[in-house]
Amino acid sequence: MIAVIAGHLLLALLAAAPFQASAAMVRLTGRVVDAATNEPLRGVEIAFERTPSVPGATRLQVVTGRAGEFSIDIPPGDYRFLARLAGYFPSDKNETPAPITVRGRAQAMTEIRLERSGGAIAGRIVDGRGNPMPRLLVAAVRPAVLGASDLDRAGESIRTNDRGEFRLSGLPVGRYYVAAELLPQPASDGAASSAFMSTYYPGVTDQSAASLIEVTESGTRTGIDFSVFEAPTRSVSGIVVDGRDRPIKGAVVMFSRARQLLGVSPSVTTDAGGRFRMIVPEGDYLLVASIPTSGGGRGNGVAPGGPGVIQLTVGGDPVSDIRLVAEQNR
Q: Give yes or no for residue 287 having a pLDDT over 50.
A: yes
- Give the model confidence (pLDDT) of 136-168 as tens digits: 889 898 876 554 445 556 666 789 999 999 998
Nearest CA to 149 among 71, 249, 58?
A: 58
What pLDDT shows up at residue 323?
Answer: 92
Mean pLDDT, residues 61-82 taken together: 94
Is 135 within the bounds of a domain? yes
**Per-residue pLDDT, 107:** 95
Residue 264 pLDDT exceeds 70: no
298-325 mean pLDDT: 71
Q: Judge if 123 and 219 occupy the same domain.
A: yes
Which of the pair, 153 or 306, is modelled with greater confidence?
153
Whether 15 shows a pLDDT value over 70: the answer reads no
More confidently predicted of 152 and 90: 90
pLDDT of residue 108 exceeding 70: yes
Q: Is the pLDDT of residue 235 over 70?
A: yes
pLDDT tens, residue by residue, 166-225: 998 778 778 899 999 876 555 555 455 666 777 889 998 877 888 999 988 767 899 999
Query: Per residue in 115-138, pLDDT tens?
Result: 876 688 999 999 888 999 998 889
Same domain, 149 and 193: yes
Please report the pLDDT score of residue 46 as a whole number: 94
> Which residues, at least 6 apart from 55, have a Cβ–Cβ distance to it below 8 Å?
none
CATH number, domain of 254, equals 2.60.40.1120
Q: What is the mean pLDDT of the chain?
A: 78
Secondary structure, 3-state, 180-233: EECCCCECCCCCCCEEECCEECCCECCHHHCCCEEECCCCEECCCCEECCEEEE
pTM score > 0.75 for this model? no
Task: Identify the pLDDT of residue 94.
Answer: 52
Asked whether residue 280 is domain-assigned, the answer is yes
Q: Are 123 and 208 in the same domain? A: yes
**Does 131 lie in the same domain as 109?**
no
Residue 275 lies in a domain: yes
| Claim to verify: residue 108 and residue 197 sit in the same structural domain | no
**Are residues 262 and 201 part of one domain?**
no
| Least confident window among 114-118, 241-245, 306-310 | 306-310
Q: What does the pLDDT read at residue 224?
A: 96
Q: How confident is the model at residue 86 (pLDDT cuts 50, 70, 90)?
A: confident
Same domain, 109 and 145: no
Domain C-terminal end among 228, 252, 280:
228
- Residue 304 pLDDT level (bands cut at 50, 70, 90): very low
In a domain, 255, yes or no: yes
Full residue range of the structural domain in which residue 103 is found = 2-114
* Residue 244 sits in the same domain as residue 257: yes
The answer as to whether 296 is a domain residue is: yes
Q: Is there a single domain that holds both residue 187 and residue 218? A: yes
Q: Is residue 71 part of a domain?
A: yes
Instruction: State the Cα–Cα distance between residues 161 and 133, nearest whole angstrom.
Output: 8
Helices (H), the chain: 2-23
Residue 330 inside a domain? The answer is: no
Residues 19 and 80 reside in one and the same domain:
yes
Q: Are residues 123 and 110 in the same domain?
A: no
CATH number of 73's domain: 2.60.40.10
If pLDDT is split at 50, 70 and 90, which confidence band does 5 have? very low
pLDDT for res 51: 87
Task: List phi, psi (to 5°) of 58.
Answer: -90, 135
Domain total for the chain? 3
How far is it, in rounded angstroms, from Cα 55 to Cα 59?
Answer: 11
The answer to whether position 142 is within a domain reads yes
Of 228, 247, 268, the last residue of a domain is: 228
Last residue of a domain, one of 207, 228, 249: 228
Instruction: Give yes or no for residue 296 having a pLDDT over 50.
Output: no
Asked if 58 and 106 sit in the same domain, the reply is yes
**Residue scoring higher pLDDT (35 or 40):** 40
Q: Distance of CA 315 to CAs 69, 149, 226, 243, 279, Å?
A: 52, 28, 26, 30, 12
At 172 the pLDDT is 76
| Most confident residue range from 45-59, 83-97, 179-193, 212-226 | 212-226
- What pLDDT, on a 0 to 100 scale, did the predictor assign at position 152? 59
